[in-house]
Each structure stands twice: as structure tokens, then as C-alpha cells.
Chains A and B, each alone.
Chain A
């Protein structure tokens, strides 16, 4: 697309795309130019002077900085002359003047560009006879990063990263001349969610990893390319290990997923992998106490008990919970065991069947990165509905920030909290939980009022009559109009919603509302659901859902069932199973298998219900609250120990190879435990290794057909959403011809549920008006929570969200509490003792309590529907 220019580098004529910088051009033709400040992902600044090269110009030969110089036609460049070498030596001499040369105690030693370049281009001797400049050594600029000002060579990379990518200028240069130092602003610690990337960027040891401090030496670690499982972005990382221990995690480049950035949780929160409390042997409850036993004994016990429960209560009294934190292989094996051998569809995971989700995830993460890297944007307006990327998907947050301030993407945000991304001044639409559908219908109406496209009339007018009554709620009327206008004007809008907005009974009306909105804005908007757990998408693909077979196929699809029955050699039930919530709520189950989930910590009622089970089997890494209640606890491999594939939020299947192993542990991969259990139940799956499970997945899940580990490579591969969409569309059309409903059924559904909603809303408003419970409870995910995968990293404890309830400043003043006060938050369901935090992000009339806080399960306050009202009282 771009034109090429011809230039001469070191007497060699090369043709390269115009517009690129000389330093990049040299790299493309394998000519090495040493750099410190220049970085391909950061804007050029030209401050280190290391990259000076000889360029012939109109006024003769000049020494120019190749990192700020774009290539041009006929340019003549030399990088290997005596003059260039002299300048490089002199520059390195200057850079090293004040460098402390404490390489033996520096964590960068061994992988330090300054060391490497000094050895290659340096003078070999120092001319300094005066004492070196002294500055602050090893002081913490956050809980995870150490700064050593003496080692700094003032390349600005960290400053530029925080400005250009994070858009949070939290580091800066202070003083002048010889005294110049890099430092934090006004003593405020760096708190950007992806701040750890400046450690990777630093070309010297000025910024080092606080958590992995002195725990590794670059020459003695094993490097395993892997992926991160903390959230559904699936960032590519490298696991550095030694002596069976995971020592450090660094980012790995994948231009389709995470560029080369990873978030701080992914980088630093890995202490759980090597934790001493990890389970190492199967535990069986004997005389009320969990006792270590042999695998054979534990599995034989489960098989016998399971068979007797099935005979006594039937297959549907048995349920299984999968997890978005374990691999596709393990989730697949779980649902195969329960569908094929036990014969029940009681299979689900957290945010599974309870959420009105779309099967295909984001169209492509690269689309959101395109505004930065390509001239052909795939997305120009993004509507975030009930998703807070800053807390839930930090690298998506990074992409979005860049897309907004570099790519001119418009951002519309609807969220109960005024989330961080609202600072880009896009329309912000606050809503109270439970009022999502109302808001969406108001938006759809605003879009219709603003003059929707005529083509939309063909598919049915939005239910305006039903909406007019709802549209009285005033606070964001202007924003709604602005948002609707933006969506109408957009050429390629994308609507992203998350599980928080689409949970429970209201989920379907939210989904319908979003579909309506997409229709009302001309049906161009793409609608995407993003799960939050690392393998949330893979979990759905594998069919860990009560109403879907593997590959998102409905249970009543006879052809799909027949195919699976042949593959698994069994008969499959077409009765929809219980969802995650139903399995835990009612206590009608006799046996429950929990793999990689901790429901007892979510809801006190669920914890009680787990006690009433005849058999509770837990596959876990640690003795969690749920595992403590189990009859059998089976020690499982974590993601770093097992080999497997994970599917990220854009359907990219990626491999996470085995990086470490614990020789003292008897734990095993989840799929292997399940295969042995199947054997005990009389079915031989004959899976010799993980790859054979993947091979069977490609047979059982149509959209995964043809995937092999070789094909995945180190960058993963997306499965094609179009195959699924064509199936879905066919199915939808079929349904329409049968029911003779509107040409697009979602509209009909929306109208009906809207009427129901109207009643429910008036109900909730009446309880609102009696002012017993004046606040609306908002819950959701925070990055630094009290979950097991985070809290075991001691160094990050101070960053964790404490057990607190956040109130808006006005509400806090009205109740008469200040930050830090101890309060009781009460709902009709229960009460929680928390401390108060005052947060301007929280909207008046709402109280924000995140999920999985240490010792404060917000589930205690929830009744299961989206809307929950609470009151906050001083203790």
C-alpha cells in the first residue's frame, strides 16, 4: 500500500516502505544500530544520542540520530565508519559516567542492553576520576516496582509508556543537567494497571520487579512461552522458571492479542503457583476429617458413591461445575463424563447458563488495535455496556485508550459506576442495576427519534408505545441522545457487554434491548459478549453449559446429539440441566463435582447448601472454602504445570505448555483425573496425553475442527465465527417460520419482558420510596480482589481492594459517614460488616461492593435478581 523508497545503507542499496524511521529500516535489513531511548512501540524522542549514524546530505556528511529520521529517496547512510564508532564510544562513555556498575546485584544483569552495548561498542575504560553522582537507590515507586535513580540513563521510555499508552503521566524528569533524575510525581506511587511494562521497557536496571526481586538470574532460568489466565484477553506471556518454581512472568509479543503488554496482575500475581499450601495428595473425608489417601482409594470411593447416588436419586440429582480458569481439555473431559457416563445436563460454570451471552465473543482484538497500527479501522465507535475494562480486562483498557486518543475512536459507556474510561468525555449513561433494559430502550427510542435509517422499518418498529412511559427517568437524557447520535453516525459501531449486565432473569431482556438498539441504529452495530475468566469462552465452546452441547449446539439438535453419541458411544439426554445458580441454590442435588471454582466463598447460603450434599468432590489447587466442605478433594495441576489450550475472548485458541513441575506433589491434570474416574465407572477413554484430548475436541466441537497444536504455534489461532453464525441464523429462521412471530423475534421478546419489567420496576420503586433500603447495590469484578489467585502474592496485599463499601460523596455525607468508618450494609437477604470508602466514581444512590473481597462475600446481600436495594448504617 505504502510506496517504497530506495536508499543506501552501508554501501548496499535497499528498497523499504516510505515513512518508517531509519533505525527501524536498518533493523529490517539486519544492520545493527545501538539504541537506548528508541523503541518500536514508543514515539521517537532522540535523547540518548546512541543511534547517531553518518548520513550524506546537501551540506555534506552529518551525524544524525537515526531514531528520529524518516527514510527518504536516495538517502546514503553509513553505520560502520570510524567516525560512527568514535561517537558510539564517546556516548557510551558519557552514559556510563554516572552509572554505578553494580551489575552483580542488579536484576537486569545478564539481559541488560547497557551491558551488551558496552561490551560491543563501548570504550573499555572510564575517563572519570571524580566521584560518581549519587542519587536515591532502590526505592519503591509502587508495591511492585523498584526504582534506582543512579542506574537510570534518562531514556524516557518509562515516562513515554505511561503517557502514550496508559495516558497516566505518573513518572517525570526532575532537576536539570547533571542532576536530572526520573521520579514519581509528588510522591504519589505509580498505580497504572499495566505499570509493570516499564520494567520490560527499561534498557538498564533502573526499574526492576519488586515481587521477583533477586529471585532469578537471566542465564539460569528456563523460558516457556505461555499465556496468562487471569482474564479472558489471554495475553501472551513468558514463564521464567528455575528449580521447579515459577520465578517471574514477562510479556511476550502477539500483535493479534496484547501487542507486547501485560497487566500487573498477570505479571506479578503468581505466588499461588508455588505456594506451600498447594494440595499434593488426594484427600478423603474419614471420621469427619480430610485425610491424605492414595489416588486409587479416592477414585474408587467416588465411583462407588456416584453409582449408588445415581441408582437412588437418578442422574439428574448429580451436577458438575466447570471453570473458566482451567483448560479446554479439562472442561471438555468434565462435560463428557457427566453427559456421556452419568447422563445429566447439570453442567455449568460461573457466568455460564445464568448469563444471556452471545457465543462468538469479540470480532477480533486486533480490530481495536487497528486504529493505532493500520490505516483501515474496523471499528470507529465502541459502546461499553456494563463492562469496566480497567478493572476486568486491563489490556483491553490499554487498547481502548490508545484507540481513543490515537485512532479517534468514539467511546460510549453505560455502567453503574463512572468508570475510568469515562474520562475521554464520551457520553456516559449511568444506570442502576435492574434498570439496564429501560436504559437500552430509551437509547433505542432516542435513536429512532434522531431519524433511524429506513431499512430498519422492514424488520419491525421498536416498541415505542411501551417505551414512552419508561423514558421519564431524566438524569442522562442528553447523554442518551448524544450516544444514539454517535451510534447512528458511526460506520462501524461495536457494542460490547459483559456478564455483569446480563446475569440472571434480567439478562435476556438486556440482550434483547441490545439487539433492539443495534436494530434501531441501522443494524450495522456488531454486538459482542465478553466473558471475564481466562477461559470463559473456551468453557462455553466446550459445552460446559446446561442448555448447550459442545460447539454451542442446542440440546434438542438431534443430529448433533447423534454425532456425539457415536463419538462417545453413549446416549445423551435432551433435558436442559440446572444452571450454576440453580445447582447451588435449591439444594436438590445429591452429588456435586466442583472443578476450579469456589462457590462457598460467594454466597453464605451456597456454603450451607454444600453441607447437605451426599457427595461433594472438589478438584482444586488449594484447600479453598469449598474444598474444606468436600468429601473428596482431588489435587489438580495449575496452569503452569499442565499442558493445555485456552480460548480467549476473541475465540483465539492458544496453548499454555507445561513450564514447571513439583516432584513432591502427586497432583494430576483435571482431564487425567476425570479419565481415571471414567475408567472406574467402566468407560475407557484412552487418552494417553493432553494432545489426544485436544484431538477429540476437534471432533466433538465443529468450530474447532482441524485445530492441532502445531497449527496453534506460539500465537494461537482464532476459530471462525462465521461458521457458527450461519448455523445460528439458520436455526433462528427455522424458529420464526414455526412460530409465525415477528420477523425478528428479539423484538417480540423485548416488548413482553419490558411489560414484566415495568411491573417489577414499580415494585422496586415502591420499596425505594419507603426508604428502608435507600441505596441500590452495585457489584462486579475488581482487578485486585481477594480471590485465591491474587491474595497469595504478599507483596501486592496493600493494593488489594479491602473489605469496604464505596459510596458517592453525597451519599456518604447524607448518611454521615466518612472514609474508614465501620458500617453494616443491610439488605432483605442479609448483612455485611464493612468499612466505608468514598469514591467519586460511584453514582449517588448506589453502593459499590465488589465480588470476592476477603471475608466479605457480597453474595450475602443478593437475592439473585439484578436489582438489590441496601441500606448502610454506622456500626
Chain B
């Protein structure tokens, strides 16, 4: 009886150790995150960025449609008229203020859908931790100059 239990236990341990020994030969599935990066899916929706045309003009025309589409009211846009001599965007209108509150954003991508000029896109940057609440409000300058620029042009 006692011997039987002993052997059974030893077999279980052997089995468990077998799993361990089996994985000892395999490569790890985790990565050392900040030092190592994992690949990101192309359609990943991370931190927002505002894009430009090739000639340097901003794509955003300040139409406020992203603001209207946003389910959490995370976006705030103030439009203004372009100076005809030094326009910021093609046409008459540009965004004077463009702010995204990351604490409100749920990264649903509706703003991308709404944008008629593909100006606002959700990029691949997901490391958005910060120390002060006000730092979570992205300004237009930050959005136009993302840390990981021009990641994707979505086919859809």
C-alpha cells in the first residue's frame, strides 16, 4: 500500500519533471520587453498621429468630423482659416487646435473612419504611460511629430 503510493508519487514527479526537461530544450516565448520588441500587427491601433502630404502640408483640414465620430469625446478641434500666403493645409481651412485626451480614448478607430483626408491614424506606439494627467492630452505638435513616424498606410 505504502509502496504503491510511493511509486505513484515518483511517477507523477517524473512526469512533471519530464515537462520541465522537455521545455528546457525549447526557446522562451516571453521577451525582455523594453530591450526586445515584438512585431506589431499592421492593423494594430495605438497612439494617434496626424499625417502630412508629401509636400509637407498637413492633411488635417479641421473639419471636426473625428470629433463628432468619437464615442468618448476624447478629441477637441478648433478650426481656423489658412493664411493664403503660408497655408498649413490645402484649401481654406486648417486645424488651429487639435487635441486628443488619451485617458478618454478607447482606441476604437472611429476617428480614422470618419476622416475625409486620412489625416488622423492610430499608429503602432502603445507605450503611453506618463506621470501627470495633463501629459495625456496630446497636442497638435505632438500628433504631427510622432515618435514612430509613418508606420502604416492602411489598405482599407
Which residues of A are in contact with B by a Cβ distance under 8 Å?
102, 104-105, 109, 137-138, 213-215, 217, 219-220
A137: chain B residues within 8 A (beta carbon): 92
Offer 9 A-B interface pairs, CB within 8 angstroms, sorted by A.
A102-B91, A104-B61, A104-B65, A104-B116, A137-B92, A214-B80, A214-B93, A217-B67, A217-B68
| Among all A-B residue pairs, the 8 with the closest Cβ atoms | A104-B63, A214-B79, A105-B93, A217-B64, A104-B116, A138-B92, A105-B61, A214-B93
Which residues of B are in contact with A by a Cβ distance under 8 Å?
61-65, 67-68, 79-81, 91-93, 116-117
Closest-by-CB residue of B relative to A137 is B92
Q: Do residues B67 and A214 form an inter-chain contact, with CB atoms below 8 A?
A: no
Measured in the bound complex, the distance between the Cα atoms of B117 and A104 in whole Å is 9
B93: chain A residues within 8 A (beta carbon): 105, 214
A213: chain B residues within 8 A (beta carbon): 81
B92: chain A residues within 8 A (beta carbon): 105, 137-138, 214
B80: chain A residues within 8 A (beta carbon): 214
Q: Do residues B61 and A220 form an inter-chain contact, with CB atoms below 8 A?
A: no
Measured in the bound complex, the distance between the Cα atoms of B65 and A645 in whole Å is 38
Measured in the bound complex, the distance between the Cα atoms of B93 and A138 in whole Å is 11
A105: chain B residues within 8 A (beta carbon): 61-63, 91-93
Q: Do residues B68 and A219 form an inter-chain contact, with CB atoms below 8 A?
A: yes
Measured CB to CB, the closest approach of chain B to A242, in angstroms, equals 9
Q: Do residues B81 and A214 form an inter-chain contact, with CB atoms below 8 A?
A: yes
Measured in the bound complex, the distance between the Cα atoms of B93 and A106 in whole Å is 9
Closest-by-CB residue of A relative to B62 is A214
Measured in the bound complex, the distance between the Cα atoms of B92 and A105 in whole Å is 7
Closest-by-CB residue of A relative to B65 is A104
Measured in the bound complex, the distance between the Cα atoms of B153 and A833 in whole Å is 65
Measured in the bound complex, the distance between the Cα atoms of B116 and A219 in whole Å is 17
A102: chain B residues within 8 A (beta carbon): 91
Closest-by-CB residue of B relative to A110 is B68
B65: chain A residues within 8 A (beta carbon): 104
Measured CB to CB, the closest approach of chain A to B62, in angstroms, equals 7
A138: chain B residues within 8 A (beta carbon): 92
Known: A105-B91, A214-B79. A220 touches B63 (CB 8 A): no
B68: chain A residues within 8 A (beta carbon): 217, 219-220
B62: chain A residues within 8 A (beta carbon): 105, 214
Closest-by-CB residue of A relative to B89 is A105
Measured CB to CB, the closest approach of chain B to A10, in angstroms, equals 35
Measured in the bound complex, the distance between the Cα atoms of B93 and A102 in whole Å is 11
Measured in the bound complex, the distance between the Cα atoms of B64 and A138 in whole Å is 20
A220: chain B residues within 8 A (beta carbon): 64, 67-68
Measured in the bound complex, the distance between the Cα atoms of B116 and A138 in whole Å is 20
Measured in the bound complex, the distance between the Cα atoms of B116 and A136 in whole Å is 23
User: Can you add 10 more A-B contacts, CB < 8 Å, to A104-B63, A219-B68, A220-B67?
Assistant: A104-B61, A104-B116, A109-B63, A214-B62, A214-B80, A214-B81, A214-B93, A217-B64, A220-B64, A220-B68
Measured CB to CB, the closest approach of chain A to B96, in angstroms, equals 9
B117: chain A residues within 8 A (beta carbon): 104
Measured in the bound complex, the distance between the Cα atoms of B78 and A213 in whole Å is 11
Measured CB to CB, the closest approach of chain B to A145, in angstroms, equals 14
Measured CB to CB, the closest approach of chain B to A49, in angstroms, equals 30
Measured CB to CB, the closest approach of chain B to A795, in angstroms, equals 11
Measured CB to CB, the closest approach of chain B to A136, in angstroms, equals 13
Measured CB to CB, the closest approach of chain B to A833, in angstroms, equals 36
A109: chain B residues within 8 A (beta carbon): 63
Measured in the bound complex, the distance between the Cα atoms of B81 and A105 in whole Å is 10
Measured CB to CB, the closest approach of chain B to A151, in angstroms, equals 12
Measured CB to CB, the closest approach of chain A to B112, in angstroms, equals 15
B81: chain A residues within 8 A (beta carbon): 213-214
A214: chain B residues within 8 A (beta carbon): 62, 79-81, 92-93
With a 10 A CB-CB cut-off, give which of A109, A137, A214, A215 has the most chain B CB atoms.
A214
Measured in the bound complex, the distance between the Cα atoms of B2 and A603 in whole Å is 117
Measured in the bound complex, the distance between the Cα atoms of B62 and A105 in whole Å is 7
